[in-house]
């Protein structure tokens, strides 16, 4: 099968479109999916959508050959103590398709049947690019805001770097749940687009002092929730923006993972610092249900053919996107 592979640990110049052995035929409880689109997250993490090609192994009844499916890229063992408690993203062997498991921006991929769901019927129908763009960012942002930060109607959230898929989805979830949202970017065009998509306040973090602006906007109180995935570059300002008793939820550290934390401020201000990665099966079912109701339809930035995958990664590497960058694969049929 054709696949986009990293031939060595390295940069975009190490990406190649090449022939690799087909993904293995599905065993009991697995589904092999014929991939039609893959959304880019970072250099080695792709999320995909497609059709069961080669179908399901023994015992699989949830999907049939020909169904259009979404894939939850978080692969759990469905047997450890955390899985049995329904917390699949806490699984002791948790892995992400593309990051820890091979061969995902490829024509075929084999995954546990629990990770595959039929795409909901919505009008207009989801494109392959939208289907691929949906799962990772929506699941991640949903768990961050709903399960971890427990954002409530009328609360205010600060969300950094609105061009990124998780940030943009977090903004839309916060709005859906009745919160007020302050978003940042270094790009005025992205900020204008975010305003169109529902942002209440937009701040350019290159030309404005975010903490000063946020404290002014909230009468020195600070925001209820900060959504972090930037890390070192924004951490100090994130804490300056957080109200007494506020919650900071983080799922990433794109600018670096090492930050300074004065514990006296944590306990004195009753702050909650919350980590979050992906989400469990119930959360995934909930976001797919919401998608079926016409909510949280993903924002696709640009779509590229597989042959131009490198160009797609370059757009991501330069942070030029608003929403998801997607690569489409031709039908194998």
Q: Which residues bind Zn ion (CB under 5 A)?
A: 76-77, 80, 83, 91
CB of 91 to Zn ion, least distance (A): 3
User: Closest by alpha carbon to 138, among 97, 173, 95?
Assistant: 173
Q: Toward Zn ion, which CB reaches closer, 27 or 152?
A: 27
Q: In the 8-state DSSP scheme, what is residue 97?
A: B
Q: In the 8-state DSSP scheme, what is residue 21?
A: P
Q: Toward Zn ion, which CB reaches closer, 25 or 85?
A: 85
Q: Toward Zn ion, which CB reaches closer, 13 or 81?
A: 81
Question: What's phi and psi for 136, nearest 5 deg?
Answer: -65, -50
Q: Toward Zn ion, which CB reaches closer, 39 or 139?
A: 139
User: Closest by alpha carbon to 42, among 77, 3, 15?
Assistant: 15
CB of 89 to Zn ion, least distance (A): 9
Query: Taking the C-alpha atoms of 316, 254, 49 and 55 in order, what is their torsion angle to the nearest 10 degrees?
Result: 130
- The answer to whether residues 271 and 292 touch, using CB atoms and an 8 Å cutoff, is no
Angle (nearest 5°) at CA 325 between 319 and 327? 140
Report the run of H or E that residue 284 belongs to, with start and end.
Answer: helix 281-292
CB of 148 to Zn ion, least distance (A): 19
CB of 87 to Zn ion, least distance (A): 8
CB of 275 to Zn ion, least distance (A): 18
Q: How many CB atoms lie within 10 A of CB 203?
A: 22
Strand 15-19 and strand 300-305: pairing? Answer: unpaired
- Can you tell me the distance from the alpha carbon of 202 to that of 190, in angstroms, rounded to the nearest whole number? 10
CB of 83 to Zn ion, least distance (A): 3
Cis peptide before 124 (omega within 30 of 0): yes
Q: Toward Zn ion, which CB reaches closer, 38 or 91?
A: 91
Measured CA to CA in angstroms, residue 267 lies from 225, 234, 246, 283 at distances of: 17, 21, 11, 30
CB of 304 to Zn ion, least distance (A): 35
Q: Toward Zn ion, which CB reaches closer, 83 or 159?
A: 83
Q: Toward Zn ion, which CB reaches closer, 88 or 324?
A: 88
CB of 290 to Zn ion, least distance (A): 25
Q: Toward Zn ion, which CB reaches closer, 100 or 206?
A: 100
Strand 300-305 and strand 324-328: pairing? Answer: parallel
């Amino acid at each position: 099968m054709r696949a986009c592979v990293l031939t060595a640990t390295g940069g975009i110049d190490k990406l190649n479109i090449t022939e690799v052995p087909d993904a293995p035929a599905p065993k009991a409880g697995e589904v092999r999916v014929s991939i039609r689109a893959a959304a880019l997250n970072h250099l080695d993490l792709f999320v995909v959508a497609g059709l069961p090609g080669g179908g399901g192994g023994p015992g699989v009844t949830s999907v049939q050959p020909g169904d259009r499916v979404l894939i939850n890229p978080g692969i759990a063992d469905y047997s450890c103590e955390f899985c049995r408690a329904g917390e699949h993203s806490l699984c002791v062997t948790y892995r992400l398709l593309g990051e820890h498991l091979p061969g995902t921006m490829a024509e075929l991929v084999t995954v546990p049947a629990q990770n595959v769901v039929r795409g909901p019927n919505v009008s207009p129908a989801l494109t392959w690019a939208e289907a691929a763009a949906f799962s990772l960012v929506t699941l991640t942002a949903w768990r961050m805001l709903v399960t971890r930060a427990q954002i409530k109607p009328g609360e205010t959230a600060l969300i950094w770097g609105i061009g990124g898929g998780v940030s943009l989805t977090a903004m839309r979830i916060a709005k859906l749940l009745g919160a007020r949202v302050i978003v940042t970017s270094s790009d005025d065009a992205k900020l204008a687009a975010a305003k169109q998509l529902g942002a209440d306040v937009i701040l350019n973090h290159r030309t404005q002092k975010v903490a000063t602006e946020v404290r002014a906007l909230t009468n020195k109180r600070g925001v209820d929730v900060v959504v972090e995935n930037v890390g070192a570059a924004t951490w100090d300002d994130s804490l300056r923006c957080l109200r007494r008793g506020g919650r900071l939820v983080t799922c990433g550290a794109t600018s670096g993972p090492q930050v300074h934390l004065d514990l006296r401020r944590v306990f004195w201000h009753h702050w909650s610092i919350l980590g979050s990665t992906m989400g469990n099966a119930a959360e995934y079912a909930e976001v797919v249900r919401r998608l079926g109701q016409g909510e949280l339809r993903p924002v696709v930035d640009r779509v590229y053919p597989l042959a131009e995958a490198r160009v797609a990664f370059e757009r991501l590497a330069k942070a030029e996107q608003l929403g998801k960058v997607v690569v489409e694969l031709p039908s194998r049929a």
